[in-house]
Amino acid sequence: MKPQTSEQNGSGQNGEGAADAVAVATIPTGEASAATSGTDLTVSKNSQQLKLEMLNMELASNGSGHEKCTFHHDLELDHKPPTREALLPDMARSYRLLLGGLGENPDRQGLIKTPERAAKAMLYFTKGYDQSLEDVLNGAVFDEDHDEMVVVKDIEMFSMCEHHLVPFYGKVSIGYLPCNKILGLSKLARIVEIFSRRLQVQERLTKQIAVAVTQAVQPAGVAVVVEGVHMCMVMRGVQKINSKTVTSTMLGVFRDDPKTREEFLNLVNSK
């Protein structure tokens, strides 16, 4: 004897909806319960898959998905990373493994606390990831009827080579030509700190400083010169202890006007 189907279950439904209703009605009670559970699970999976697809589409429309991540760029985060302190246990474990990989005994007296110390030091060396231009400026942009060149030179700089994770250090000189807005002088040094306290290459560091000053006061032009000593060239590799690397970025009138650029370079190179 064929099981009876419910006309009511199929009423008002067309296509797949009606077919599903009939299919469920013709299954014995125990199997129908299992099928319903399976259907709910499928719906749940489909819902999750839809959310993932929507997220992927959103990331694709924004590029790689990391454009707003301070670990790759300098814009404000949409997604927050763990606090810096929360990273310490995992980082310390990694340093402990590194010590073991070098053939050392991480439990000997001199190394017991080394993994934690090294983790804290690395967080300090890269603290610029936690800083933004807005926080550093703190409103120290002033209206001033001044349109002559402002130069702050020989700002000490310490950074970390992103290729070998060893330091490079040196000095930074910054000049800008105001357009009725000036920046607190100490803020120029703090801008250097934001971008130098990260894993860096000197070429990118130089440009980031110049762009940040431009964003801060919209001057007629910005010039930045960085002179650095790279320990990856001193302690290893070619081991050239007297070599120095000089990079520059010229924006606005400093790029377009040779006389303005020459004036800046003369001021920077003067003793």
pLDDT of residue 8: 45
CA 145 to chain centre: 36
Catalytic option among 131, 161, 200, 227: 161
Instruction: Name the active-site residue from 131, 193, 200, 230.
Output: 230
Question: Exactly one of 164, 215, 218, 263 is catalytic; which is it?
Answer: 164
Listed range (81-85, 145-149, 210-214) with the worst mean pLDDT: 81-85
Q: Is 163 a catalytic residue?
A: yes
pLDDT at position 25 is: 42
Concatenated DSSP letters of 142-188:
EE----S-EEEEEEEEEEEETTTS-EEEEEEEEEEE-SSEEE-HHHH
Q: What is the pLDDT at residue 16?
A: 47
pLDDT tier for residue 222 given thresholds of 50, 70 and 90: very high
| Catalytic residue selected from 144, 162, 203, 262 | 162
pTM of the predicted structure, to 2 decimals: 0.70
Contact (CB, 8 A) for 199 and 190? no
Whether 31 is catalytic is no
Active-site residue, from 104, 116, 179, 232 = 232
CA distance 61 to 58: 5
Active site residue 164: yes
Q: For this structure, is 203 an active site residue? A: no
Q: Average of pLDDT values for 217-230?
A: 97
How many whole angstroms separate alpha carbon 137 and alpha carbon 188?
9
Determine the Cα–Cα distance for residues 227 and 267; give it in Å rounded to an integer: 15
How far are the Cα atoms of 92, 103, 107 from residue 110, in angstroms, in the given order? Answer: 15, 14, 8
What percent of the residues of the chain are helix, what percent strand, and what percent coil, each to the nearest 5? 50, 20, 30
In the annotation, is 7 catalytic?
no
pLDDT at 83: 81
CATH number for 139-269: choose from 3.30.1130.10, 3.30.70.380, 3.40.50.261, 3.30.70.270.
3.30.1130.10
pLDDT tens per residue, range 168-197:
999 999 999 999 999 999 999 999 999 999
Please determine, for residue 11, whether its predicted confidence score (pLDDT) is greater than 90.
no
Name the catalytic one among 131, 200, 202, 208. 202
* DSSP bridge partners of 150: 176
Q: Where are the domains of the chain?
A: 84-127, 139-269
Please, which residues have CB within 8 angstroms of residue 3's CB and are 6 or more apart in sequence? 25, 26, 28
Token couple for 152: 């702050």
**For residues 212-222, average pLDDT:** 97
Architecture of domain 84-127: Orthogonal Bundle (1.10)
Domains 84-127 and 139-269 share a fold: no
